[in-house]
Structure 1
């Protein structure tokens, strides 16, 4: 039978009772809500699109088993694709490309979909996910802009556009789009997230904290990534404002422990614990609990951005598995899918060496490894705010190495950061300490 989903896209269903499950995926995915997984309740329905949506959910696990778990659903989707619409066929092909590691093809298919079926916002958001993980910020924005004329009535699309604008450093446009999304639907967590990025980047720290906290009552029913990541942003504001105890409380209550086995929750926790330490905030034994989960990730190699943070967390916890993960990364990198091989070999491998070296106190080696990776770091994906962790580690290595040259380099970096974020107590303290070691007065 033919029906339409809640955004007006035609769908081909064997079982009419599966339409709510289709809508649960479409609506839940673009709203970052946990109900997207309700689609799995219709897994018995051989409808190609239903099977493709189930495959998508399994691939989002971002684990070594994700492709194997998704494959039965994908094979059923492909087997029935001849009776699906061209839109559904293209979505199936895009998910198949993702499973095969051909991310460039997946992005190309999602871009075609955005042009031909601009109200297929689930496809668009998945395309943005791939662009994000590839460092293709213009691609993220291009996808959203293609759909706006036909789907501008959907608040979530403005949130997607806002993040695309922000990652392209178009801050005024990003803030306008985020605020428009929130005006249309106050519970739009991706728009909240984009607005948090804008305010962090522009140094509007107190304002950003107030805005995020004022909206946090709506962060219910979300997938674990979205709720923990928005609280992660709250913690970043608190760290920079010198509110250390509150930041630790956010980590303990809101960031770590929602879904401890999920990749995104794990890297959010790694990133915050590292930032606490870099800001001089003791984390006590928190690395140990986290590392027990990271130790299960030694041969995932789903995304280089993830592996780097798993490795750093293991190394900071003093776990020998950090060495094994590094060897696994080096072995995998030359055989990575062609579309991501350069990122693995030329960015991830040197960065991994640098991160392990920093965690173990070899600051010269940390500078060497991270220094090679930083100019191309965007290629491993992640947001500007997320990748800032690696820049902070590099800066810390310069300071800790303590030579005249390394301190001079650190001073230049820190002062530029203070200029951009004058509200940051963290940066002002760090800059003052470096200036003192160089025999300079502290500057504002």
Structure 2
């Protein structure tokens, strides 16, 4: 620690000399008594000494890997490892510049008895990225405030805030191969499922020996199996529009959601593919190592190709990504462009193009009834459907308000048939998925 003497260091001796001299010159006993008090103060300063403090400083954060926008609790703990009391300890924690303190304060003061500890807690709001705390400033003063010890203490602490999707909840419709999707079938696994009558082909490792010892009856323990699933990430590419000029479009948000979900499902050992609604382009499902690159390239073409002016919207309050002006196209134009009669057979075409056992993650802004009806039709064809819908209706215009009401009605209607993730792009997709999964449970 660095040591600094304050201006009060020799105040006792100085006061004694001045008061003593004035008392002698004037012959006033009262003034002379002031000199005696000052001498006692100076003697006390010399008696207590200025031992250098010995401190242990710790910082803990919870959680260490929060989602953007969530709160992180920071706890700073000081321990006096010395043999003397520290009457005045002041600390300023090194909060990362981009993290805002929302509760409590990183600045505090306390006193510490020998061997005692003191903790303080404050809360910061997490933001996307890695945020390293800087050195903590610690200042200790003696009882009279005449000597100050200061040090910059380095406590390595980093908040890693990621918005990546790590897990996606799927339905129990799975393949025969093993994976990580829980099923309602008994077999090999980790979680207990049921006990059934023993069969000669059952392995001895699954015999319920406790039951045998009690009843002399053979029984077999079954565990809940986890299997892999086939999933198609379906992107609604019909609305190359944004809620404001120069903002990401609905197609880009949908392609981003499909890529995040697809990568997470591939990491969970599932077979993942992709498709475009309603041009009916498909990337067949696969689980090999190269599939993630193929998925990224396929969805990148969808997001990049949506800005050529060939997409449409019936919503005049949204902006076309190419002209930045309100623009609409008729269903007839859409049908002619994609060769789909009345624009209504895309679901049937896609159903024939993808495996029958596929689950579908439909990424759509739900800006029209066709998207909602498509989700219902896929469910009617036997696919387990999850709708991930980026909300493009967050503006304040009258048209946006009307469309927001219509979109909310579509969401409510779909919730009775399929799983729905209502995602506001201002928040992380992972957070919206977690909230939706809790609601499904």
TM-score (norm 2): 0.23
> Greater strand percent: which structure?
2
TM-score (norm 1): 0.22
> Greater helix percent: which structure?
1
